[in-house]
Amino acid sequence: MRDDLDLHIHTAHVGCADETMSVPALLARCEELGRTQIAITDHLNGPQHLEAQAKIREELPSYEGPLGVTWGVECTIADAAAGTLTVTEELVEQFGFEFVIGGPHGRYNATDPDEIIALNHRLMLATVRNPIIHSLVHPWWFSRVEWDRGTMTWFEDMSRIPQWHVEELAEACVETGTSVEMNGGAIIHHANYTDRLKDDYKAYLAALCERGVTFTLCSDAHDIEHLQRAGDAAAFLADAGVPDERIVVPAPSSL
Ligand SMILES: [Zn+2]
Ligand SMILES: [Zn+2]
């Protein structure tokens, strides 16, 4: 089992993660946890995040430790109707990102459960088919706010998601060489996800694996105490029967 990877980490710069996630502190903690290869992937959801991204990039070259560090970014959906992303080829070029992860982050005002599922599926496919994307982040993650609103309370297991969705997603991933993320923080530690839902999620990963999909492992940490969740993701993926050779290890960036 590969438990030495964490390919989705936030920093204190953008401000979604807390102040414990300074770049030097998070790198030191990843070393302590026995990681060998990580990716820094803070949010780039719009022009408000450009300055913070530049600061992270500036800070990375001062690291001289043993970790392989890949310079990456997390993007979200820019326009749900068009299926576009908040990171473009131009931004990848401008910042020199070498690992781009992204996917939908909500229900985009859909209210009917089947409509939410169909929209999420369409946006996941659009993400996977976008040539800048290396990994699709946390499939079927929805914010806990949606449970407070009552719009996701039906999501207690994955039985409502049609089997052909799994097939279509797997096919798009294999065709484009895009990985699917196993996210410790967003999925395993989600306060609203039932054990039944997590069992279904394991079967979902197994079904994608059977169809040839590759995977990435991560914590999605926004607090330094949550970096260990990449280890939980590794155990979860191994439990789903995904072999090490299907786990993606990106090349470290020369920073
Ligand atoms: Zn995310
Ligand atoms: Zn994230």
| pLDDT tens figures, 158-190 | 999 999 999 999 999 999 999 999 999 999 999
User: Where are the chain's structural domains?
Assistant: 5-246
Nearest ligand by distance to the CA of 17: 2
Spatial contact of 238 and 203, defined as CB atoms under 8 Å apart? no
Distance CA 120, CA 114 (A): 10
Give the residue from 75, 56, 72, 23 showing the smallest Cα distance to 224: 23
pLDDT band at 255 (very low <50, low <70, confident <90, very high): confident
Nearest ligand by distance to the CA of 103: 1
| pLDDT tens figures, 193-230 | 999 999 999 999 999 999 999 999 999 999 999 999 99
Distance 44 CA to ligand 2 centre (A): 10
| Residues whose Cβ atom is located within 5 A of ion ligand 2 | 74, 220
Distance CA 160, CA 180 (A): 20
Nearest ligand by distance to the CA of 218: 2
Distance 3 CA to ligand 1 centre (A): 21
Nearest ligand by distance to the CA of 221: 2
Distance 188 CA to ligand 2 centre (A): 14
Distance 10 CA to ligand 2 centre (A): 6
**Beta-bridge partners for 135:** 101, 179
Residues 250, 132, 24, CA angle at the centre, nearest 5°? 50
Considering the segment(s) 5-246 as one domain, its CATH architecture is Alpha-Beta Barrel (3.20)
When pLDDT is averaged across residues 113-133 and rounded to a whole number, the result is 98
